[in-house]
Amino acid sequence: MKDIQIGGLVSFTTIDYPGKLAAVLFLVGCPLRCAYCSNPHLLSIHDGEYDPDKVFEWLKSRVGKLEAVVFSGGEALMHGEALINYMHRVKELGFAIGLHTNGFYPETLKKASDVVDWIGLDYKATRTKYPELVGQNIAHDHMIKSLNIWLETGKDFEVRITCDPRFITKLDLMEIANDLHSRGVKKFAVQKYVPHFEDSTHNTTPEQRSQFFNDDNLRNTINELFESVTWRESN
């Protein structure tokens, strides 16, 4: 049976699954090529540095110590049925299952929705700017399909955006917030762009990167649209 490929692991985190102590597994492979990607070593499919069976044995030793396991990437849903099977095995150990996803695989997300308890969904830019940022023409449409699928489940989730000033303006952020509000999203997270050392094309200033966080008017307007808004400024 085909197995998942794991390229990274965080053994303990308090910030990747809301309210739960978690481990994060980073699966290799991603259909997108975001300009700001901080995990370029995970983008192409390869064998992965971690044996999934050994990771599973390690997870058994974490029962009672951790509460959740988050699948991230790359794009974990690229692993299809192999991922869903692995998630079921992990869930049987008693862990809540989290998923960080760019929303590119709505049908797989639908299949995984029985086993996944919470997702963090990336909304990367306005529809017009999506292709330039992610290198893919249909990614925005797929992400919206994923959003609609998850809304139908009624399960908890967060939509997050990384504010890279090369691709996002304050007006864009407002447009995106209004779009999410109109779709019934309750939890929104606005993340600061921090240039990755391999992102050699970035030429933004600290002021440009902070502009979304220093504007009280913008923050208050967005805060009023959602049940909760998390402003993630430090990394």
- Under the rule (CB under 6 A), what is the footprint of ligand SF4? 30, 32-34, 37, 39, 43, 73-75, 102
Nearer to ligand SF4, 48 or 73 (CB): 73
Could you tell me which residues are beta bridge partners of residue 26?
8, 72
For residue 16, the minimal CB distance to ligand SF4 (Å) is 14
Helix pair 206-214, 170-183: axis angle to 10 deg: 40
Q: What is the CB neighbour count within 10 angstroms for residue 181?
A: 15
For residue 108, the minimal CB distance to ligand SF4 (Å) is 15
Which of these, 137, 31, 13, 16, lies nearest to 75 by C-alpha position?
31
Structure tokens at 143: 């992400």
Instruction: Kindly give, in sequence order, each residue whose CB lies less than 8 Å from that of residue 87, ignoring residues fewer than 6 positions away.
Output: 71, 97, 112, 115, 116
For residue 223, the minimal CB distance to ligand SF4 (Å) is 26
Nearer to ligand SF4, 204 or 221 (CB): 204
Nearer to ligand SF4, 33 or 54 (CB): 33
For residue 220, the minimal CB distance to ligand SF4 (Å) is 29
| Contact of 86 with 115, CB cutoff 8 Å | no
Nearer to ligand SF4, 20 or 124 (CB): 124
